[in-house]
């Protein structure tokens, strides 16, 4: 239930928030460029997917919120009951609740998120016109790609 969830963490009190927010400053400085679909030479075509990263301890609460309370048409992926997703929501190509252990497996090949990195709260997949050019641009700007 929502009343049982912990209160949000004040970003100023979170030791991980400042480095993450600082790493986004080149993007934040270019917000006006986003309206044109191009960011530092990266031509973003559309948002391919988005969703929260869920934790094992609150997996059922997350499911209840998104499926029962918000009534989103989420379903389990075949063979993967923890990955709830939908491609049937207007305005969203793909929405999914992605368990942190699965995100860690996808990025690092291990079940536990590395302690030296802040654990993600959500995932975002963007479709770029030229993936090679987008990757080179991000690496040249010193972004670590997972």
For residue 7, the model assigns a pLDDT of 42
- Mapping DSSP to helix (H, G, I), strand (E, B) and coil, where does residue 4 land? helix
Collect all residues with Cβ–Cβ distance below 8 Å to 102 and sequence separation of at least 6: 80, 82, 83
Collect all residues with Cβ–Cβ distance below 8 Å to 110 and sequence separation of at least 6: 104
Q: Whole-model pTM?
A: 0.68
For residue 18, the model assigns a pLDDT of 45
Written as tens digits, the pLDDT of the chain (146 aa) is: 344 444 444 444 444 444 444 444 444 444 444 444 445 678 889 999 999 999 999 999 999 999 999 999 999 999 998 999 999 999 889 999 999 999 999 999 999 999 999 999 999 999 999 999 999 988 888 888 88
Secondary structure element (H or E) that encloses residue 56, with its range: none
Q: For the chain, where are the alpha helices, taking DSSP H only?
A: 17-23, 25-28, 31-34, 59-63, 100-108, 131-140
Collect all residues with Cβ–Cβ distance below 8 Å to 21 and sequence separation of at least 6: 11
Looking only at the bridges linking them, the beta strands covering 42-54 and 95-99 are parallel
For residue 146, the model assigns a pLDDT of 80
For residue 51, the model assigns a pLDDT of 96
């Amino acid at each position: 239930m929502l009343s049982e969830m912990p209160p949000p963490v004040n970003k100023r009190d979170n030791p991980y928030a400042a480095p993450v927010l600082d790493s986004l400053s080149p993007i934040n400085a270019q917000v006006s460029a986003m309206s044109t679909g191009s960011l530092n030479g990266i031509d973003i075509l559309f948002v391919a997917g988005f969703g929260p990263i869920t934790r094992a301890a609150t997996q059922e609460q997350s499911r209840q919120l998104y499926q029962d309370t918000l009534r989103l048409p989420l379903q389990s992926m075949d063979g993967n009951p923890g990955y709830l997703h939908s491609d049937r929501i207007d305005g969203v190509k793909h929405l999914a609740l992605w368990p942190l252990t699965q995100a860690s497996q996808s990025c690092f090949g291990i079940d536990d998120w590395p302690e030296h990195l802040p654990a993600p709260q959500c995932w975002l997949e963007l479709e770029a016109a030229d993936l090679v050019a987008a990757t080179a641009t991000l690496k040249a700007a010193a972004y670590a790609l997972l």
